Amino acid sequence: MKFRENKNKDIIVWLGVVCLLVLSTVIVGGITRLTHSGLSMVDWKPIMGVIPPITDQQWALSFAKYKNFPEYISVFPSMSLAEYKSIFFWEYLHRMIGRLIGIVFFFPWLYFSLKRRYNLWTGTKLFFGFILGGMQGVLGWYMVKSGLVNIPEVSHYRLAAHLVLALIILGYLLWQLLDFLNLAHTEKTQTNNGSWKASFFISMVILLQIVYGAFMSGLHGGFVHNTFPSMSGSFMPSDIWMLTPGWHNLVENVTSVQFIHRSLAWFLVLLVILHFGTARKKVQNRWQQNSLKFLIAVLSFQFFIGVATLLLVVPVPLASLHQFGGALLFMAAIFSAYTFKNTSAA
């Protein structure tokens, strides 16, 4: 069905805009982390926090609050007001996009629901995305709070949870969007079980890889072993199992976390190549075919950017692009899973 003939094109545009906004907040969130901006706003005001400091007096008060917390005291004791305004900008932008997502989602949802543009079950599924968004806001502040106590670093566990929930929301809304696009030209669909399950499994591995990407960020793992394909000349460095009890190495040892992140990248390459080779024999329509091509193209891009980010010791533009690539790769896997589950020969 062509887009201009789709009776739900206004809903499609709405959900598309929301998905783009969620993707943008993932990107801005990455920049916020990379520029050490995440702890610049030391309180959480969901309503009043919309208005930033404007006057010199307001800026001075905001900066004075920041000076009472560990990041300023331990890390940036010589920071100027101008530098503070710079880091404040990214955290403020990140929070504002989050609020904008809530507004852009809720009011159209309410309008379409009152107009009965979809049934109760579909409306409920869509509203569940809004609930997830609210949870994400609370989780974001819970993450920030972890860096405002004694150590001026947010918990890498909370950082990973915050990022993964953002991607779950993105994947969930993308799935709803694809439902309205009606890709198969028919309401009655046929599931290609093997290919859809493989795509879904790949998307879960990507989520796990993103968890370890967040661990890398939280533990500053991109600043060690900046060689490839070896890790400082070794396949498996000697300090990979230095913590006790042993399982702590899997989530807290920076060398082990980087090793797992690298290993998952190679595992994903193998998985996607195998999936591409087997699923293309079962392709029933161009959406399935294009989803496979898109998946392998995005994976290639993400792998290259990841290696470049490591070798160049985490420059902010490349590292931000790498986070964007991770989100795009997850979307590509969700798209592939959807086409094999919900589209038949057309």
Residue whose C-alpha is closest to residue 337's, from 274, 281, 287: 287
CA torsion through residues 292, 295, 298, 304, sign: negative
Element (H, E) at 47: none
The per-residue pLDDT for 43 is 87
Residues 198 and 335 in one domain: yes
The per-residue pLDDT for 1 is 47
Residues 172 and 77 in one domain: yes
- Neighbouring residues of 282: CB distance < 8 A, sequence distance ≥ 6: 192, 194, 195, 288, 340
Tokens describing residue 337? 């899973």
Tokens describing residue 21? 């906004």
How many of the other CB atoms lie within 10 Å of CB of 83? 12
The per-residue pLDDT for 2 is 56
The model's pTM is 0.93
Report how far Cα 11 is from the mean position of its chain's Cα atoms: 23
Q: Which of 128, 156, 182 is the last residue of a domain?
A: 182
Residues 271 and 247 in one domain: yes
Residues 113 and 262 in one domain: no
The per-residue pLDDT for 3 is 54
Q: How far apart are CA 62 and CA 54, in angstroms?
A: 10
Residues 199 and 230 in one domain: yes
Residues 172 and 224 in one domain: no
Residues 131 and 264 in one domain: no
The per-residue pLDDT for 187 is 42
Residues 155 and 198 in one domain: no
Residues 127 and 150 in one domain: yes
Residues 176 and 210 in one domain: no
Number of domains in the chain: 2
Q: Which of 182, 214, 231 is the last residue of a domain?
A: 182
Would you call 234 helix, strand, or coil by DSSP? Answer: strand
The per-residue pLDDT for 342 is 79
The per-residue pLDDT for 284 is 80
Look up the domain containing 91 and give its range.
Answer: 1-182
Q: How far apart are CA 96 and CA 88, in angstroms?
A: 12
Residues 36 and 141 in one domain: yes
Residues 148 and 210 in one domain: no
In the predicted model, residues of the chain with pLDDT beneath 50 are: 1, 185-189
Residue whose C-alpha is closest to residue 40's, from 89, 6, 96: 89
Q: Which of 163, 182, 201 is the last residue of a domain?
A: 182
The per-residue pLDDT for 119 is 93
